[in-house]
Amino acid sequence: MNVSINTYKAVGSLFTITILQLECSFDLPLKYQFWQILIFCFGFFNMLLLIKLAIGTGMIGFTVVLHAFVCDWVFRFIERYSRPFVGTFGRYWTIPTLITAVFVIGSALMVDIWAWTLLFLWLEPVALPTVDDALYFTTSTFTTVGYGDIVLTDEWRLLAGTTAINGMILFGWSTAFIFEIMAKLYKSGRIYGKRSDE
């Protein structure tokens, strides 16, 4: 989707109007002058910028909420199945529990990547014509590798940076969470392990 000439004309008209409003605003009280200046500053930007920021913020919000639910589920899973795992696997019960936790966290990250992939497929049919291209671009961007062999059009390239920010947040969160799970498991393992040996 390319920005048409009419869009730029509309933005230019808005910019001209805000300049005229700004010239007339200095006779107004200070608080009204502030809002006029703020409107003037926004006149420099493409009106689609707010839409791009809203889409990026919404995607980050969705993935963060999803990750929060997944992390909560993993904690509940460990609390619920620690004792049954001890009875089944004995002193090695921490291994299948840790594998399950890592698999669930990794699956949540894959869902996040697929959510961005579907969004890019919808927004960028020219730059990302196939699912393979969209998934490859999203994965390399989400993991902050960024090979640069596939790039978005100027219209939506801001979302590539938002995707990288989202990936940094979630991978950092996931890494810290897995370490916390490991600490919790091996702390519990010293207790349950002794009981199973007895």
Domain boundaries, given as residue ranges, for the chain: 1-46, 48-197
pLDDT at 196: 44
Q: Going by C-beta distance under 8 Å and a sequence separation of 6 or more, which residues neighbour residue 166? A: 56, 59, 60, 63, 112, 116, 142
Within 10 A of 170 (CB to CB), how many other CB atoms are there?
21
pLDDT band at 190 (very low <50, low <70, confident <90, very high): low
Question: How many residues in total does the chain contain?
Answer: 198
pLDDT at residue 62 is higher than 60: yes
16-20, 76-80, 114-118, 144-148, range with the lowest pLDDT? 16-20
Residue with more model confidence, 20 or 154? 154
Report the predicted TM-score, pTM, of the whole model to 2 decimal places: 0.70
Contact 158, 66 (CB under 8 A): no
Distance CA 50, CA 38 (A): 14
For 2, half-sphere exposure in the C-beta direction (CA atoms, 13 angstrom radius) is 4
Q: Which CATH architecture has domain 48-197?
A: Orthogonal Bundle (1.10)
Query: Residue 2 and residue 42: Cα distance in Å, rounded?
Result: 21
Tracing tokens 């005229």 back to the chain, one arrives at: 20
Distance CA 140, CA 133 (A): 11
